[in-house]
Amino acid sequence: MEIRGKVHKVGAHIDTDAIIPARYLVTTDPEELGKHCMAGMDPNWIQGVSKGDIIVAGPNFGCGSSREHAPLAILGAGIPVVVAHSFARIFYRNAFNMGLPLIEVGDLVENIDEGDELSIDLVKGEMRNWTKDEMYSIPNLPEFMLKLLDIGGLVEYVKTKIRDKV
């Protein structure tokens, strides 16, 4: 699974209310939530995002509440992956459950700038910064997590298991 896109860099401790403010939690439709992704940080942020772009963040991305709307908003905005120094644990779990891969890279985020073009190979555990012509090793995701992401998250996985038993 390879992902390639332009970087949108955000800071440290971006909470779920910055990712998707509470006033937009009247739906669980990813596309509708995506229209308001990061509105708590910058109401116009989404206007600079194209499908396939990548969020790169500082420490503790996704802190705050346990709302599952946050990873749905990111996916709905067309962002297929988030790379960060670190993630809040509940957000980490929710993201994978919703089918959003997260890559935790520690201080490596300091090498990545706004507008850089990255490619990420989740299977090989490699990330390339095309803008700076640099290659980085990233943590490999376990095979079962790759399968979970490939099917679209935990909900889709469970639906498949139930359907297979019927």
Q: What is the pLDDT of residues 11-41, one digit of tens each?
A: 999 999 999 999 999 999 999 999 999 999 9
pTM for the whole thing? 0.93
CATH number at residue 112: 3.20.19.10
| Nearby residues of 78 by Cβ (< 8 Å), 6 or more positions away | 34, 49, 50, 51, 52, 53
- Domain count along the chain: 1
Max CA pair span of the chain? 51
The DSSP secondary structure of 113-143, one letter per residue, reads: -TT-EEEEETTTTEEEETTTTEEEE-PPPPH
Question: Would you state the pLDDT for residue 164?
Answer: 84
Kindly state the percentage of the chain with pLDDT values over 90: 82
Q: 76-95 pLDDT, tens per residue?
A: 999 999 999 999 999 999 99
What 8-state DSSP symbol labels residue 4?
E
Average pLDDT of the chain is 94
Q: How far is CA 141 from the centre of its chain?
A: 14
Distance CA 41, CA 39 (A): 5
Distance of CA 13 to the CA centre of its chain: 15
Please compute the mean of the pLDDT values over residues 61-74 and round it to a whole number. 93
Q: Is the pLDDT of residue 166 over 70?
A: no
Residue-number span of the structural domain to which 22 is assigned? 2-165
Closest CA to 138 of 56, 50, 72, 71: 56
